[in-house]
Structure 1
């Protein structure tokens, strides 16, 4: 698509997370020939952002997310669109539709199961027919889990059933936008539905979720695993169904790692209460008023103290392997790198064979993991053993 004006365009750039993505892209494109732009409805805010960026300043494109014709005109001028403009289930569909109409690749940071399902069900087949890649969940939801599960499963024998359990630990604060998106995600009650395969996706093996119950985590982790009801397991299982390297069949479990049993019980109770409140319109409205305003987020100092790790325990064919994906502030600094590198990968790396509604692992694969490692995200093998010897 060298004849298009831009290699990539970033929507939502003046929001809290969008500004971090814009900063990452400006630094990464400095000294290169990458042509990029920031897009939104306020020329003044976009211009102020462009002037502040250290690195290669982007062009500015003014368009509103509800301007269907304007979105088509702009997406037709770029090879790739990246978006942080959420909540996606309320704001994101017109941009996806425009990308399919203009054969433009797309990536976002949604963690909303309802939006993931919408993209798959309404646009998966048209995108497949057009040869377009629609890649949802290119942030903390669900890149570390999706790529980490693939990394772990690939270290195990492939002629047997493989299972992977992921234990998530994060020391971080989250912004108003993330809180509102989480509320919409829980209210949609479509977490499991997001895991159904997209049209045209390969089906190489049987996949299933592992039992979701609190349990003592493996001894080296020193804590308890509590079921974590996010979109991540659905994304991991979609990748495992479609890609080689996950064994003859594959099971996945997704858990928060907490320090003690009372904390695990409190976490379960709190999640249950929040889930019930989010599902009922009157209490959901109240919760929305109590949450921080969208566009706000933690300070740079607080983000610098934040970190995350996801420890994967994989088993298959009498072998156990323990790996870890880890990094800095998950919801913002690392998410900005994840989306920025996803957009650059779509624009610059060799395209894989798969098109349509895709997961990060399906669309971007090993070149994307290499990019993230170069940006400081760690993929480590902690242990590998024969179960009989252990």
Structure 2
């Protein structure tokens, strides 16, 4: 993730000026997929008045059908703009990024389909969000695009879905209830009863076969990413144990969530001088 505040001020000023000239406030890429449609329906029902948003994908016919469906939720969506963009067409991704203040992507597996779009947003100074749970993808994008995103003012924010918003905010809320400036030990427990979407299942299968590449990407990121000075924040893998605090056996959860919590802890001093997080 990058922040305009951490880049140089001139880049931030340029990005702010360019934002006002963009055609769209939000472009939802992958709108006709499972999660994309859920997101589009939410925007149709709840987007603040005056927000200029569009749906994007490679199949214009499917986009038109989705627009008709959304117009039943909000009649104003009958005029919703459609943007044709394809992960196999880098020029279309650059064009989409250049016309949006924010691109929200639901197109995964991200390691397979998402890299060019992140690069396009970093280059255009366009904010980018996704819902990836793929650690290798996140680490690669940091190494490849963080420096350029800081120059252009783009903010690249990954894992904005179930991976990893509940866990990241849950840990932060917990920390706020605890004493300041002392070592903290937080364990997170997740109990779910949902089914995988097709994209999530494909991402999981892809990750299971890329253990060495995932480790290499994490090491490369550690070489590039600065560490906090005078503070520690780490997320070691836990061991199976009976967790008396929840009255059940707990198994380590091999997801991206501990990595996301650790990054927040390294960024914010409120997590204290010595923070440890384990995820079950």
Whether these two folds match at TM > 0.5 is yes
Structure with more contact order per residue of length (Cα contacts < 8 Å, sep ≥ 6): 1
Q: CA deviation at 1:191?
A: 6.7
- Spell out the pairing of 1:26-45 with structure 2 (5 A cutoff): 26-29=44-47, 32-45=49-62
Q: Secondary structure at the match of 2:209?
A: helix
What is the CA distance between 1:67 and its match in structure 2? Answer: 1.4
**Structure 1 unaligned residues grouped into runs of 5+:** 256-390
For 2:223 and 2:146, locate their aligned partners in 1 and report how far apart those are by CA, in whole Å.
6
Match of 1:8 among 1, 7, 26: 26
Aligned to 1:17: 35
Deviation of residue 66 (structure 1)?
Answer: 2.0
Q: Which runs of 5+ in 2 are unaligned?
A: 1-18
Residue 134 of structure 2 is aligned to residue 112 of structure 1:
yes
The answer to whether 1:64 aligns with 2:86 is: yes
Counterpart mapping for 1:1-390 below 5 A: 1-29=19-47, 32-53=49-70, 54-55=73-74, 56-57=76-77, 58-189=80-211, 190=214, 194=218, 203=228, 205-210=231-236, 212-219=238-245, 221-255=246-280
Structure 1 vs Structure 2 CA RMSD = 1.9
Q: 1:145 to 1:6 in 2, by over 3 A?
A: same
Cα separation, 2, equivalents of 1:230 and 1:112 = 8
- Partners of 2:254 and 2:208 lie apart in 1 by 9
Deviation at 1:181, TM superposition (A): 0.6
Tell me the CA shift for residue 198 of structure 1: 9.1
Cα distance, 1:149–1:197 mapped onto 2, change above 3 Å: farther
What is the CA-CA distance between 1:247 and the residue it aligns to? 1.3
- Partner of 1:13: helix, strand, or coil? coil
| CA deviation after TM superposition for structure 1 residue 159, in Å | 1.7
Q: Quote the residue 1:383 is aligned against.
A: none
Tell me the residue number matched to 2:13.
none
Q: Which residue of 2 aligns with 1:357?
A: none
The answer (yes or no) to whether the contact 1:65–1:95 under 8 Å persists in 2 is yes
Inter-partner Cα distance in structure 1 for 2:139 and 2:236: 21
Query: Higher strand proportion, which one?
Result: 1
Conserved? CA contact 1:124–1:198, under 8 Å: no
Residue pair 2:168, 2:260 contacting (<8 A) in 1 also:
yes
Residues 159 and 165, structure 2, Cα contact 8 Å, conserved in 1: yes
Q: Contact 2:237–2:279 (CA<8 Å) still a contact in 1?
A: no
Q: Which 4+ runs in 1 deviate beyond 3 A? A: 191-202
Aligned residues: 253
Instruction: Give the CA deviation at 1:63.
Output: 1.7
**Which structure has greater helix proportion?**
2
- Alpha-carbon deviation of 1:199? 5.5
| TM-score (structure 2 length as normaliser) | 0.85
